Amino acid sequence: MLSTEELKRYNRHIILEEVGKAGQEKLKMAKVLVIGTGGLGCPVLQYLTAAGVGTIGIVDFDVVDHSNLQRQILFDVNDIGHPKAEVARKKLSAQNPFVQFNVHQEKLTSSNALALFEQYDIVVDGSDNFPTRYLTNDACVITGKPLVFGSIFKFDGQVAVFNYNDGPTYRCLFPAPPDPGSVPNCAQIGVIGVLPGLIGTIQANEVIKLITGIGEPLSGKLLIMDALTMETNLFAVARNANNAQITELIDYEDFCGLNTPFHETMQEMTSQELAERLEQGDDIQLLDVREPFEYEICHLDAELMPLSTISNRVADIPRNVPVVVYCHHGMRSAAAITTLQQEYGFNNLYNLIGGIHDWAANIDPEMEQY
């Protein structure tokens, strides 16, 4: 089963009594699907590749961005603008030629999830949003696949194994998603660069344990790590039969409240539309909700009002002219508009689609991008 070269490569595994040649052969025969090549997906992919998992699927439809390089260690400056999944495949193939990589350069949806998951033994969730997490969980339940879950938030990380040997599912821990906008993502609130490496490595370890049958998986447990104190805690997670009964996939953006009438009626503006209106001399106020250091890198002729200060600066925002709110990619600006519309009754706000990143790419290529 293992070639002479593979026996040499995996020697440190094979001499482990708990793994041995039989365990390494199990790794070679295994098929693992990794959702996302971001902060978590990068270390998961690298360690599973190094461990000799025979077939690895990579699901990601995004491209490499400057802001990824602080923590997504598979990528470098030469990869900016290129598809993450394909860049990952190329680099991982050089790391271990004995691994087969299947690139799924597409968004995971209710339409393709079941067919994708059926092709693999284990699914690893490296996503960063609630619709994908619930979709991944439900598709794993329906297809009977174990799910290795991980999440990060500023300095805290979580890892668990769901849907393993009739154990609890993600819905047993989180039956319902949080209110839209109540939990900021990494792009809005930041994350220490090494945290996804720590959490992603633990996820990879759980995958290896599941494949080889060694150790005690984090099934029925939630591991929480604080990177500032290096304290870890294990919490028991009980299976809830009602939450574990999933028979079909749904619209997960709707389930997570992203298709509510409010979100549907949020006014938006493209960079091209904004450029045309500014050129025509339209009276438009620009509002930048990024942080001061980001503003220094590049900015439009806008009022700087970081997202965290919005509620204290309401009086400074005009109500009698269109106000175009922007950030890096458009997520923090959407959160700002949510607050201003719902809590203060604004109806003259527009979210700049794609943020200043899109403006720099399509309107002002000479602008410093980050």
Catalytic residues: 186, 327
The CA distance from 104 to 3, in Å, is 28
On whether the CB atoms of residues 77 and 69 are closer than 8 A, the answer is yes
Closest CA to 82 of 70, 91, 94: 91
Residues 6+ apart with CB under 8 A from 312: none
Q: Both ends of the chain: CA-CA distance in Å? A: 47
The CA distance from 291 to 51, in Å, is 40
The CA distance from 262 to 172, in Å, is 29
Using DSSP, state whether 150 is helix, strand or coil.
Answer: strand
Closest CA to 20 of 44, 1, 33: 1
The CA distance from 370 to 357, in Å, is 8
The CA distance from 162 to 237, in Å, is 10
Angle formed at CA 201 by CA 41 and CA 96, multiple of 5 degrees: 70
For residue 45, report the phi and psi dihedrals to the nearest 5 degrees: -65, -40
Specify the DSSP element, H or E, that contains 314: none
Strand partners, 151: 158
